[in-house]
Amino acid sequence: MSMGLPSLALTLLLCAFGVLAQIQIDDAYAYSNQSLDGVQYSWKEWNDNNQGFAANRFRKTYHNAELPGARFTYFFQGSGIKYYGDRDPKGGPINITLDGALVATILGNATEFQFQQLLWSTSGLDSSDHQLVVTGVSGTFGLDWLEITPLDGRTDARTAQLGPGASGVPAGAWVVDDTDGGVTYSGSGWQQGNDGPGSAAYLKSTVHRTTNPGDSVTFNFTGTAVWFFTDSTNGNAPVSISVDGGIDETVQTVPSSGSGARSQKLTWSKTGLSDSRHLVVIKHVGNAGSLASVDFFMYMPSANLDPSTGKPKNEPPDTNRKRTPVGAIVGAVVGVVIVFLSALFLFVFKRSRRQKQEQEQRRMEQARRRTSYHDPESFVKEVWNPAPGAGSGHVSLPRGAQGYRSSDGLLVEQRLNMAPTPVGGGPSRTRDLDEGRV
């Protein structure tokens, strides 16, 4: 039977609507505080280098990785999903895991680059939350975009309980990862795991685990509600959870019958709390060897908290605390300068006084030496002193009798009219001459 024009038009319209209704998730829509339901890339092995090929990619963006074990994770609700990426000459095998089960291993290689290729797809999914994990086994692989077929009447793919973007948590809640300083672990069994490549199944690629019964973890926050996320895997231990010292609640962390393993699952929550400080305590209460894990918390902050700082909105600026270090530094610098200048002044003063003392001592020593100084000519001198009418003779006179040294250094001699006494007591040569004796 032929189809009438109105029916054909309606069919085409429905088909067009179906195509337009596909939800496209670009690779650039990555997880952040502003996009809690974004694609989560594992660790640091991913890059978004798109130089030279941007025009060939969907919305001109692309994420790729070459390290074996690199993976990306995406949580969604929908009846089908498609995975698009490059086929690369360096491409290798890629594992596709859906809801905890390995469903396919595909090849992403080609003899030459092929862009925007449909690499894998599935359909006929139920209306529950789903978790897609794509892992590179070897070689290069990447993500261009995902395409989701939404559930009937839906225009989004948001999950109810999986991932930080789950609708079970109201908008405005803050995320606190297991490595945050507000999370404290007690007990010897806690270990941080999956912090290397291939750990994108956990938020920010980290998780804390223990197998020791009695080990506990505490989380402090100021707000009105709190949510706890961890993995749901067979063999996990039950945990007890209390708030502000209240009654313990025993919570199971294993998947329900017929469902596969999940990570980042909303496992417990408490709402309607007073707008104040609260303490959550989670304790391993299972058998030894069974795992209890912590992935992350979310909480609804106090209305008085500033989202940008985490401090009360009405708290005045802490100017004193900001000013104190500056004042202390300036004071310390001034003190050091004063001490240095004082030491320098004391050194200069003592040195000057010592120099003056040394100069004074030198002057006194020079004066003493001048006072006790003897002239080399102070020894007894022999003077030729011929007597009138007689022969010549020598006489020894002391300096005092000879004269004095004038200012020009000349010796003024005084002659004395006295007969010299011969040396040895002999007769006077002067008298012999007077008597005519030779």
Domains contained in the chain, CATH given? 15-149 (2.60.120.260), 174-313 (2.60.120.260), 380-416 (no CATH)
Q: Which two tokens stand for residue 263?
A: 């990570």
pLDDT at 338: 83
pLDDT at 197: 64
pLDDT at 198: 65
pTM of the predicted structure, to 2 decimals: 0.68
Strand partners, 107: 93
Q: Taking the C-alpha atoms of 150, 152, 158 and 163 in order, what is their torsion angle to the nearest 10 degrees? A: -90
CA dist., res. 146 & res. 27, Å (int) = 8
Q: How far is CA 437 from the centre of its chain?
A: 124
pLDDT at 419: 47
Task: Look at residues 244, 307, 310, 240 and name the one whose alpha carbon lies nearest to residue 273.
Answer: 244
SS3 188: coil
Q: Which two tokens stand for residue 183?
A: 């999370």
SS3 per-residue string spanning 249-316: EEECCCCCCCCCCEEEEEEEEECCCCCEEEEEEEEECCCCCCEEEECEEEEEECCCECCCCCCECCCC
Angle at 150 between CA 146 and CA 151, to 5 degrees: 150
CA dist., res. 227 & res. 271, Å (int) = 8
Residue 129: enclosing H or E segment and its boundaries?
none
Low-confidence ranges of the chain (pLDDT < 50): 1-3, 5, 8, 10-18, 20, 319-323, 373, 375-384, 387, 389-419, 421-438
Q: How far is CA 301 from the centre of its chain?
A: 28
